[in-house]
Chains A and B, each alone.
Chain A
Amino acid sequence: MFAYTIKRILWFPVVLAIISFVTFTMGFYGPGDPAMVRLGSKATPEAVERMREKMGLNEPFMYQYMTYASSALKGNFGESHSFSGRSVSELIVKKIGISLQLGLGAMFISLSIGIPLGIFAAIKQGTAMDTFLVGFSLFFYATPVFISAPVLILLFGVKFHLLPTSGWDGIVSLSAIMPIVILGFPGIAVMTRLTRASFLEVINQDFVRTAYAKGLSEYQVNFRHVLKNALIPLITIIGLSLATLVEGAFIAETIFGIPGIGRFAVESILSRDYPVIMAVTIITAFAFSLTNLIVDLLYCYVDPRIRLIK
């Protein structure tokens, strides 16, 4: 356990270094000259050359990468091309907060609806209710955000005028309802299916039979013995569903006009604002790796059987 923890923690900065290197290389060889972008197309070649010198673009590749990486470690990701002269970090910080609220809201919805549905389906295994819930969740799982979003906008925004179709006034407002629900949809499906599968796996184990044998009621067995063990595998999914959430956020934020980091990334991609794209990629990759690290370690801690295998 100790050796595994150390190994995982040592591996973490290596992953970050490689990620930043790959991202930097792509930005470096991407089309367009940053100095030219900064000055505009009317700049004279001499001015561009002076700018290149000033921005350090004439240094060797590795030197530029080291400079970039060391300032990125201090939270400085350079300056945006499109928002001339403004630092990327300053532009991003506020947006991360908004996206985080959105993501946590969606995560809350998928956990609080998905887990009970999964338990319910497992208890009713083999009945029409179970079949319905499984099919239903598969449909939601198969419906990407860019499909559900315009359809819901058409229904609730355009036809019935119930909810605002764009904008962001904080997490507790009408405008937050549609994006959060839409982002939570696929998560509900994943949680339902996994809770059901892992519940069914536990139900067939010996200790459950023992619990019944000593005369416990079905309720007591399900909620005191089975549930505790069935929820353990769900910890891993929280890490994985983060990836789905981030990708969904890109699209949901763009469609609903939410000034979060996802929409910013999409805009930066369309305007070829490489410093921003690189910063968003590195920050998201960092968040992914960190979550997965925590999830894996937590998993080992919660379920002693895993420690023995590793």
Chain B
Amino acid sequence: MSDSKSNIRKFWMRPKVIFAVFVLIVAYGGGIFSAVLAPYDYAEQDLSSVRQGPSMKHLLGTDFVGRDNLSRIIYSLRTNLIVTFAAVVTGSGFLGIFLGLISGYFGGWIDFLVMRIGDIFLAFPGLLLVILIAATIRPRLINLAREIEDATFLEGLVRWGVIDYVIVFGSLAAFGWVGVARMVRGQVLQLSQFEYVVAGKAIGASTPRILLRHIFPNALPPIIVILTMGMGSITGAEVILSWLGIGIQPPTPSLGSMIREAQNISILQNYPHMLIPPVLVVALLIFAWNLLGDAINDLLNPRSR
């Protein structure tokens, strides 16, 4: 036990862990406290200072309608944070683990059904299907939300972009579960063979108890690794969607739409300060998640180091 404790202490001392955790805390801390930290509102336009370079007034300059780039990045991090965590918790986390557990434990037709549905999800080009979902379901959901708003006292579902968040994280979650479910299923198949699980069954422990108390904790290490790695790819996917213009809709800022606005050749030539900061933030964020996943993998599966 003391050995694993010292391993964990060593883990936190590793340069790549320190770096990754630092980047994630700064980025998501900025996202969580965006309303306090951002010097300007994300939609505040200053048409007298458009496309300015970095200055004391605007640390990262302004965009084409004079909005402060730094503030927009900070608010974009909030957008990204909400989408990423919602998608990972519901999709990869809840759906993936739940379906993996039942499909591995019960086997038979449940297993067949879950795994074949997973196969079909994997056969689709993920990005295209997400785009298709976003394009076809969005108008219907917005109509539905309007009806809900009219019928109840809820307000702002459409105006505040709640629907956009639901669509984006929903379609990302719809793809996130497959990899996790497959992995959890493999773990369950292995762990079910162990004596303590058999013993648990013999003394009459209920199925949920066996799954949650006996199998799940032992399957946890690889789940943590795959979820951490997944954070990086979901972060990227959220940015790609808004880059394509089908993610979170303006005026809510998103790193993807900022990059898209800045990558036009003539803008690149004259205003490179618009491209570099958002690009750097996205690259660092994805890199940090992968670095952390890698380090956790080293910690939990020392053989693969």
CA distance A153 to B269 in the complex (A): 10
**Taking CB as reference atom, which chain B residue is nearest A145?**
B240
B-facing residues in A155-205 (Cβ within 8 Å): 157-158, 165-166, 197
CA distance A284 to B122 in the complex (A): 12
- Contact indicator B294/A138 (Cβ below 8 Å): yes
For B125, give its contact among A27, A246, A255 (CB under 8 Å). A246
CA distance A250 to B239 in the complex (A): 14
CA distance A29 to B263 in the complex (A): 34
For B272, give its contact among A154, A266, A280, A288 (CB under 8 Å). A154
B-facing residues in A263-310 (Cβ within 8 Å): 265-266, 269-270, 272, 277, 280-281, 284-285, 288-289, 292
Per-position contact with A for B115-151: 1 when CB-CB < 8 Å, else 0? 0000110111111110111011001100000000000
- Contact indicator B263/A147 (Cβ below 8 Å): no
**How far apart are A201's CB and chain B's nearest CB, in angstroms?**
8
- Contact indicator A31/B136 (Cβ below 8 Å): yes
CA distance A21 to B120 in the complex (A): 12
- Which one of B49-57, B78-86, B242-250 is at the interface? B242-250
For A142, give its contact among B129, B232, B246 (CB under 8 Å). B232
Per-position contact with B for A1-17: 1 when CB-CB < 8 Å, else 0? 00000000001000100
Q: Which residues of B contact A135 (CB under 8 A)?
A: 16
For A270, give its contact among B127, B245, B282, B294 (CB under 8 Å). B245
**How far apart are B91's CB and chain A's nearest CB, in angstroms?**
17
For B287, give its contact among A30, A139, A153 (CB under 8 Å). A139
**How far apart are A66's CB and chain B's nearest CB, in angstroms?**
20
CA distance A139 to B286 in the complex (A): 9
For B244, give its contact among A149, A266, A281 (CB under 8 Å). A266
- Contact indicator A281/B124 (Cβ below 8 Å): yes
Q: Which residues of A contact B289 (CB under 8 A)?
A: 142
**Taking CB as reference atom, which chain A residue is nearest B266?**
A158
**Taking CB as reference atom, which chain A residue is nearest B262?**
A150
With contacts A135-B16, A147-B282 known, is A243 near B243, CB below 8 A? Answer: no
B-facing residues in A115-142 (Cβ within 8 Å): 135, 138-139, 141-142
- Contact indicator B275/A144 (Cβ below 8 Å): no
- Contact indicator B119/A150 (Cβ below 8 Å): no
CA distance A138 to B140 in the complex (A): 40
For B120, give its contact among A18, A142, A165, A166 (CB under 8 Å). A18
- Contact indicator B268/A154 (Cβ below 8 Å): yes
> How many A residues touch the partner, as a band?
35 or more
Q: Which residues of A contact B272 (CB under 8 A)?
A: 154, 158
- Contact indicator A146/B136 (Cβ below 8 Å): no
B290 interface residue (CB < 8 Å to A): yes
- Contact indicator B123/A147 (Cβ below 8 Å): no
Per-position contact with A for B241-274: 1 when CB-CB < 8 Å, else 0? 0011110000000001001001101001100100
CA distance A277 to B132 in the complex (A): 8
A226 interface residue (CB < 8 Å to B): no
A235 interface residue (CB < 8 Å to B): no
Q: Which of A11, A18, A146, A166 has the most CB of B within 10 A?
A: A146
> How many B residues touch the partner, as a band?
35 or more
Q: Which residues of B contact A165 (CB under 8 A)?
A: 265
B279 interface residue (CB < 8 Å to A): yes
A70 interface residue (CB < 8 Å to B): no
For A158, give its contact among B132, B240, B268 (CB under 8 Å). B268
For B268, give its contact among A139, A142, A153, A247 (CB under 8 Å). A153
**How far apart are B269's CB and chain A's nearest CB, in angstroms?**
5
CA distance A102 to B11 in the complex (A): 41
A151 interface residue (CB < 8 Å to B): yes
**How far apart are A108's CB and chain B's nearest CB, in angstroms?**
21
For A144, give its contact among B135, B245, B265, B282 (CB under 8 Å). B282
A-facing residues in B83-125 (Cβ within 8 Å): 119-120, 122-125
B304 interface residue (CB < 8 Å to A): yes
Q: Which residues of A contact B139 (CB under 8 A)?
A: 31
Q: Which of A138, A150, A255, A270 has the most CB of B within 10 A?
A: A150
- Contact indicator A30/B290 (Cβ below 8 Å): no
- Contact indicator B268/A143 (Cβ below 8 Å): no
- Contact indicator B125/A284 (Cβ below 8 Å): yes
CA distance A255 to B265 in the complex (A): 10
**Taking CB as reference atom, which chain B residue is nearest A143?**
B283
- Contact indicator B124/A142 (Cβ below 8 Å): no
Q: List 13 A–B pairs whose Cβ atoms lie within 8 Å, in order of A's numbering.
A: A18-B120, A27-B132, A27-B136, A31-B139, A135-B16, A150-B279, A153-B263, A255-B263, A265-B128, A269-B246, A277-B128, A288-B124, A292-B122
B-side interface residues toward A, CB under 8 Å? 16, 119-120, 122-129, 131-133, 135-136, 139-140, 232, 236, 239-240, 243-246, 256, 259, 262-263, 265, 268-269, 272, 275, 279, 282-283, 286-287, 289-291, 294, 304
* Those 9 A-B pairs whose CB atoms lie nearest each other, nearest first: A30-B136, A142-B287, A150-B263, A284-B125, A142-B286, A31-B139, A247-B127, A289-B123, A26-B136
Query: 20 other contacts beyond A138-B294, A141-B290, A251-B240, with CB at 8 A cut-off?
Result: A18-B120, A22-B120, A27-B132, A29-B136, A30-B135, A31-B135, A138-B287, A142-B232, A142-B283, A143-B283, A143-B286, A147-B283, A154-B268, A154-B272, A166-B265, A255-B263, A269-B135, A285-B123, A288-B124, A288-B125
